[in-house]
Structure formats: structure tokens, C-alpha cells
Chains A and B, each alone.
Chain A
Amino acid sequence: MHTIPDFMTAQHRHCDDSFIAAESAVSAKKWPEADSQWAIFTTDLEIHLQQEETILFPAFEQATGMTMGPTQVMRAEHAQMRQLVAEMTQQLSVQNKDLFLGLSETLMILMQQHNMKEEQMLYPMTQAHLPDADAVLQQVKAYS
């Protein structure tokens, strides 16, 4: 976990774990378990998104001068994810299994294609372009 790509990618995988645990629990109608796993997922996801929006992306923008480029698209996709998460929280609260699973399938693909772009391109580029990548990584780790 000594580089930005390694640390951030591990966070993606960590979020995946609680996401699929919640999805499986909903599928089996184990609502209390679904609630607790969903709470873990939404908290971890929000922290991860904020780490990117408040530390990583500004550092990338400052280092490259690209303020309206890839980071802007990533921010827009974060908004799309947050909107889906809010809808899923609503469906979980009324224990609507079918709607929750329809939305979870959608969020899964939306989230994974977003992760692909970050893991394949944005994180390696951030690591390569930041003059103080280690210091930025420490800031990200300290954020919670």
C-alpha cells in the first residue's frame, strides 16, 4: 500500500465486499444483516469519495492544470452513484427486494466502470504527476 493506485484500489475492493454482502442479504431477505452491511458500505463509500474529491483530485488538478478534464467526469459520476445509493437506501428501508436488486445491479456496473477508469488511468497518472505523491497519500490515509 505504498502508492496511490495500490491504496485506492484496495479501498474499491473493500467497498465491494460490504456491497455484495448487503446485496446477498437482501436477496435472502435477511433484512437486519442487510441493514448493517449497507450502513458499512455507504459509510466507506462516502469516505472514499470525499478522499478523492477533497484531496486527490485537487492535487491532480493542481499538478496537471487539468481542472475540467477527467476529474470533472469522475465528480459527475460520484454524483450519479450517490443518487443511486440514496434510492437504494430508500428501498431497503421499505424492504423492497426486487427494486433494491434492480438498483444494485445498476450501481454495480456503474461503480465498476467508474473504478476501471480510476484504476487503469487516473490513479497511475496521479501517482506519476504529483511531485509529492507520498505526502498526498498520507493525507488521504489520515482522512476519515
Chain B
Amino acid sequence: MNLAGLDFDNIPPFSVPMRFFFVAPVFAFISALIIAVAGESMWLTRWHPATLAVTHAIVLGVISMIMCGAILQLLPVLAGKSLPKVKLISTLTVILMAAGTLSLIRAFLANMLVLGLDSSNSNFFFAVSGISFTLGLGGFICAILWLIRQRSQASVSINTMRLGFIAMLVVGIIASLLLAGYLFASQFNITKQLTDSHASWGLIGWISLVIIGVSFQVLPMFHVAPAFPRWCSRYLPGFLFITLLIYTLMTLVITQLTVIDSIVIESIVDSAVWQFIQTICIGLLQLSLMVYAVTAMHCLYRRKRKISDASVTCWFIALTCLFLCCAISLVMSLVMSLDMGLMNNSVTSVEALLFNLGWSPLTLASIFIYGWILSVIMAMIIKIVPFLAYLHLQRQCGFHLQAFALLPNMHELLSKSRMQYLLYSHVFSLFALCMTLYSPQNYWLLSLAIIGQFGYLLFLMIKVSSRYRHITSAIDEALLS
């Protein structure tokens, strides 16, 4: 076991994760604005420019931004490692990720006539976003992967998170292929089918695997719950990763079969076989996530620390949404496969029925993002922000007794009632999203709900930060006296 580089003490300054956290609400506001301007039409198809813009604004500008800030803080605790020149690296990452997300939003929105934007330069904005993300998020992930390059027997969390980081690089590679297909349409033969792989690696590979890795550690420790069973923490993440990989390879094969006119490959294996393997992979991914959701809920239900806690409620909401998304998706896929096998001509009617019931890939992706991922983000951020403020203030005190008297506790930094209000606002946003998905004319309610939720989150973070600054100066004075 290598002791070199073990560094428990070098936690990044309070401002480092906070700069990521403060940028996130800005992208939530931008999303709310786009939802308000785009109106009902963006809820009809996932390919609508506004839908693509909002999805990327939320996933990259809000979720990935907060995750990067939290990862910087978690590494010294989980792996005993921290990035050198962390202030510089974090500032560059925030700037490049923000610039990349803004460019991507601008590029997607170029085709929306109602906005009156110049559509001729969308290629330029796509290229800028590609470069920004490669340097910003890509560079950040590579640096973290380098830090945790040594495989740990003890930490299933770090091993799972490592798979999530590799998945992020795959997201980037597929995004580059899609971008290349868009910018140089004549040279590359990349179809929109790869978009599903891009989304799967992003939502399941990058975000969900990192969350799952963190949950293996955080749920048992902070809520005094039983540890995840060994088969789940050791093998489920790897299984998810490999299944994703096979699914993507099948997509690539199918895509190339249709565009290269490869008689050789087609003659060896019927293309239906590739599609069958791909369907099995999708089913296995859904089943694995359902198994994780049930296992995590079971652990959380058996927690010993039963004291009321908004973050536990957020976790239960998140896991319920994850389970429902995967279960509905799995059942509907089975119904459609069965239908295709028995009566081909009634597929359209089944699809129409499902659509009328509100089921569509857009519905499931929306609930997956807002219900599963953002609920976990809310659960984490209400714990992380006040604790970090406390931790840094306590370190500043050293062993000075007079300074210790100035230390607030976590509830004085962020009260339980305010955490509860943030939870209510999140639940209301989720409700507004469901209303909008069912009936798109409610889009204005969703727009207002997002502004309300993230406005309140921003207000809470500003309050904690200003309290932190105020107490920092008071401690400084006490130390000098």
C-alpha cells in the first residue's frame, strides 16, 4: 500500500467548491427563461432546439457544475488526495465549463426563429463549446483520474467514481463524434442513433455512477444505515459500465451497417441480432438501476439515525423516481416488443396509447434528471455547504479558546426549517414538471418553480457565505487580541 501523496490536511479553501455552486443557479435561471420563451412546442419532441438547450443547461451547467465542486471537496476525504494549484484549476474549470455551456445553449437556440438569433454562426458556437469542454471538464476529469490512478481494495466508492469519470470521457468522445458529424456532414457518417448512447453515458455512466459511488459511503455513514451488500457495491457498478459499453458498441455496429453498406458483416450476422443484443443491454441497464434503487432504499429504511432530516427525504424521492423511471421504461419496452412480435400493425396504436398516457423518452429523461439526479444534488448540497463553512471556521480557530466561542453549529449556519423549505420548493418544481409533461400549457408554472427553487438555493448559499465571512473576521480579531 503506497503512502506517497497521502494528504488528509490539504482540503481546498471554502471558496473553491462554492464558486462551482454559485454558478449552478445561473444556468437554472437560463433554463427557466428558455422554457418561458419557447412555450409549449418544446415539450412535443426531444429534438426541439429549446429542449436540447435546456437539457444541456441543466445537466452541464447545474448538475455537472455542482458535482465538480463536490468532487474537489470529497477527494481528500475519500482518497486522501487533493489537486495541486486547486484555486487556479477550479477557476479555469468553472470559466471553461460556463463558457462551454453558454456556447452550446447559443448553438442549439440558433435554429429558434422566435429568438431572432443569427443561425449562420451556430457552427462557431458548437466548436467553441467543444473546445471549452475538452479543456475544462475533460482536463478536470483527467487530472482527477490521474490523482486516483491507484486502484483501492478498501474503497468501493472511489472505484465506482473512477468508472463514472471514465464514462465522462466517453460522453465527450461521443459528443465530439456527433459534433464532427454535424460540422463536417459530408466526411463523417454519424447518425442521430449515437445521441442515445451519448445521453446514456452522460446520465447513467457519468452522473449516476458517481452518485452511486458516493452513496456507498455517504448513506451508511451519515445516516448510520447498514452497509450496501458486497455484490451491490463491488459488482453492480462494473456490470453497469460493461453493459453500457456493449450497448454502445452495438449502436456503432448498427449505425455503420446502415451507412457503410457492409455486405460482409451483414452476411455473417443478421442485423436483427445486433438489435436484439442492444435491447437486452437496455433492459439490463434498467434492471440494474432498479436493483440499486431498491437496495439503497432498503439500506436507508433500516438506518438507525431516525432523526428528521430533509436530505433523507430527498434521497427517498430520488430513489423512488429512479425506480419508477426504469420500471415504467422496462415494462413499456416489453409491451412494445411483445406487440411487435405478435401484431405488427398495432404498434402505432400502442405507441399512440403510451403517448396519451404521458409516456415518452422525453418524459422519462425529464423525471430521471429532475427527480433522481437533482433530488440527490439537493440532498447533498444542504449538507455540504454548512459543513464546509463550519470545517474551515473550526480550522481557523486552531486551539484558541476565545475563538472557539464564536463558532456557529451547522443549524445556525443553515437552519433545519430553511432546508425544509428548499425541499418543498424542489418537490413543487418536480410537480410542475410532471404537470408540464402531461399538459405542456403549464410550462410557465415550471419556469416559475425553477426560478423559485434555485433563487432560494442561491439565497441560502449567499446567507451561509456572508455569515462565514463575518465570522472569519471575528475569529481573526479574536486571534489577534
Contact = CB atoms under 8 A, between A and B. Distances in A.
Contact of A117 (B80, B153, B409): B80
Given A20-B304, A102-B410, A106-B409, 14 more contacts: A20-B307, A70-B6, A70-B8, A70-B80, A74-B8, A102-B409, A102-B411, A106-B387, A106-B410, A110-B390, A113-B77, A115-B221, A117-B80, A125-B1
A20 B225 CA distance: 11
B11 to A, nearest CB: 10
A23 B305 contact: yes
Interface in A107-121: 108-110, 112-113, 115-117, 119-121
Most buried by B among A23, A64, A70, A121: A121
Contacts of A129: 1, 3
Interface residues on A, range: 35 or more
Contacts of A79: 399
Contact of A17 (B1, B222, B304, B411): B304
Interface string A69-100: 11011100001100100000000000000110
Interface residues of B, number: 34
B404 interface: yes
A79 B305 CA distance: 25
Contacts of B224: 16-17, 20
B305 A101 contact: no
A74 B304 CA distance: 26
Interface in B385-435: 387, 390-391, 394, 399, 404, 409-412
Q: Chain A binding site: helix, strand, loop or mixed by DSSP?
A: helix
A105 B308 CA distance: 11
Interface of A: 5, 16-17, 20, 23-24, 27, 64, 66, 69-70, 72-74, 79-80, 83, 98-99, 101-103, 105-106, 108-110, 112-113, 115-117, 119-121, 124-125, 128-129
A119 B154 contact: yes
Nearest to B411: A102
A125 B3 contact: yes
Given A69-B6, A117-B8, A83 B404 contact: yes
A103 B6 CA distance: 30
Given A17-B304, A73-B8, A125-B1, A117 B387 contact: no
Nearest to A72: B9
A117 B8 CA distance: 8
